[in-house]
């Protein structure tokens, strides 16, 4: 029996490549036992197709060829490495005019609330220290005299020794315990933190006056000082012992005797102090969140001319803290109604400029103020805790313009 003759060496259709399709069967017909006529045999076209004819429809539609070698038959792993490839193609660059700055996130909003709570706890802790260490009769006397002076239209007399001792005490308390309430200050090494706060904390006196000026439109003196300048516990103490404080009007800078000209060594210092305090107060505008952020900015940015901070002003941890606070202030301002990116950036630069001005104003207030009274308060009349008598002799560093220029 003769084996059927195959007209082609291809023995199976399934094993053929799809590049060379078979258009008709060329095998022996086992049922009819006949070969197909020669005219019906269609031989395979073994001519390889031209590569140029194989086109990718998707690439044609896209109009952007990501790899010019993709039309070759060379396997990808054996292709030569691509050179001159731009990792960030021009067409993928972010356009700041099209892609806006992200809105203030929920996490940042919560963080700002925690900063507000930390500042409230700090005011509460300061009042607690003052109540335990400073003569309570002197504290009550200062509060009563202020309310009575406002009611009568007289100038507010402040005990300068009491004011200086309380600020020194608050500075030491903040360096030892108060900073623990603020997460960002904990990141600083201790020796950096102590030096920075030694140089910047005295400037908070200017921020206190700015707070009062920013809320000069409040309904009463109690509401003017609430939250930022006075704890809830001390507010209850004042309401109980000084009922008239709830009806007393707000105080202005002109109401203080120590702000009545002449009070500084020269007129230029007086003008600089008052204009800076009022400008900072107007910028804050009673915004509690911005006021808390500015408190952080003031403490974290010593004056460039400070001799005390000359060896640590470029420390990486301090610079990182300053950048972090600046970015948070910028993003907060950008999230406020009416602020654009340009306006928020300009406002941030203005706030940083006035941080330096507040340091210089603190030097004017503490070091260049005229001595109104030659009578000094006895130590025992102010401090009732012998363990804190040493606070009197502690240095009170401020920015010295003459030293800063040397």
pLDDT: which is higher, 270 or 236: 270
86 within some domain: no
397 within some domain: yes
**In the predicted structure, residue 88 carries a pLDDT above the cut 80:** no
Task: Quote the domain boundaries for residue 264.
Answer: 106-405
CATH of the domain at 366: 1.10.565.10
85 within some domain: no
4 within some domain: no
Residue 12 to residue 378: CA distance in whole angstroms: 115
> Whole-prediction pTM value?
0.71
DSSP letter assigned to residue 301: -
Question: What pLDDT, in 10s, does the model give residues 242-263?
Answer: 888 878 888 888 888 888 888 8
| DSSP assignment string, 223-260 | HHHBTTTB-HHHHHHHHHH-GGGGTPPPP-GGGBGGGS
208 within some domain: yes
C-alpha count within 13 angstroms, C-beta hemisphere, residue 186:
7
Q: What is the CA 144 to chain-centroid distance, rounded?
A: 39
**In the predicted structure, residue 224 carries a pLDDT above the cut 50:** yes
221 within some domain: yes
Q: What is the mean pLDDT of residues 297-324?
A: 92
29 within some domain: no
Count of domains observed in the chain: 1
17 within some domain: no
> Which residues, at least 6 apart from 350, have a Cβ–Cβ distance to it below 8 Å?
283
Question: What pLDDT, in 10s, does the model give residues 132-166?
Answer: 888 888 888 888 888 888 888 888 888 888 888 89
**Residue 338 confidence (pLDDT):** 84
């Amino acid at each position: 029996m003769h084996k059927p003759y195959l007209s082609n060496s291809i023995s199976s259709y399934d094993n053929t490549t799809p590049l060379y399709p078979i258009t008709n069967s060329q095998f022996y017909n086992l049922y009819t036992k006949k070969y197909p006529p020669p005219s019906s045999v269609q031989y395979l076209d073994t001519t390889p197709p031209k590569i140029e004819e194989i086109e990718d429809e998707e690439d044609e539609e896209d109009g952007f060829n990501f790899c010019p070698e993709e039309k070759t038959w060379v396997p990808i792993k054996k292709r030569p490495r691509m050179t001159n490839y731009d990792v960030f193609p021009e067409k993928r660059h972010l356009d700041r005019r099209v892609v806006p700055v992200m809105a203030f996130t929920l996490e940042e909003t919560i963080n700002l609330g925690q900063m507000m709570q930390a500042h409230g706890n700090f005011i509460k802790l300061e009042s607690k220290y003052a109540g335990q260490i400073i003569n309570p009769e002197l504290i009550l006397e200062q509060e009563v005299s202020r309310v009575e002076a406002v009611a009568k239209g007289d100038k507010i007399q402040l005990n300068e020794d009491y004011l200086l001792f309380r600020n020194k005490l608050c500075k030491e308390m903040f360096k030892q315990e108060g900073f623990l309430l603020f997460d960002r200050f904990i990141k600083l090494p201790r020796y950096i933190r102590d030096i920075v706060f030694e140089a910047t904390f005295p400037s908070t006196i200017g921020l206190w006056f700015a707070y009062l000026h920013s809320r000069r439109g409040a309904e009463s003196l109690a509401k003017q000082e609430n939250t930022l300048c006075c704890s809830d516990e001390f507010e209850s103490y004042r309401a109980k012992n000084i009922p008239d404080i709830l009806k007393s009007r707000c105080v202005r800078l002109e109401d203080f005797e120590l702000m009545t000209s002449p009070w500084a060594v020269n007129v230029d210092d007086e003008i600089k102090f008052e204009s800076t305090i009022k400008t900072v107060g107007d910028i804050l505008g009673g915004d509690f969140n911005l006021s808390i952020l500015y408190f952080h900015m003031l403490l974290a940015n010593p004056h460039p001319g400070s001799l005390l901070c000359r060896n640590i002003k470029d420390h990486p941890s301090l610079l990182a803290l300053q950048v972090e606070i600046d970015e948070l202030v910028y993003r907060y301002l950008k999230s406020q109604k009416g602020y654009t990116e340009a306006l928020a950036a300009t406002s941030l630069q203005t706030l940083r400029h006035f941080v330096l001005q507040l340091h210089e104003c603190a030097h004017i207030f503490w070091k260049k103020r005229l001595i109104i009274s030659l009578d000094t308060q006895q130590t025992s009349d102010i401090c009732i805790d012998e363990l804190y008598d040493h606070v009197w002799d502690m240095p009170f560093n401020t920015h010295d313009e003459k030293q800063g220029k040397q």
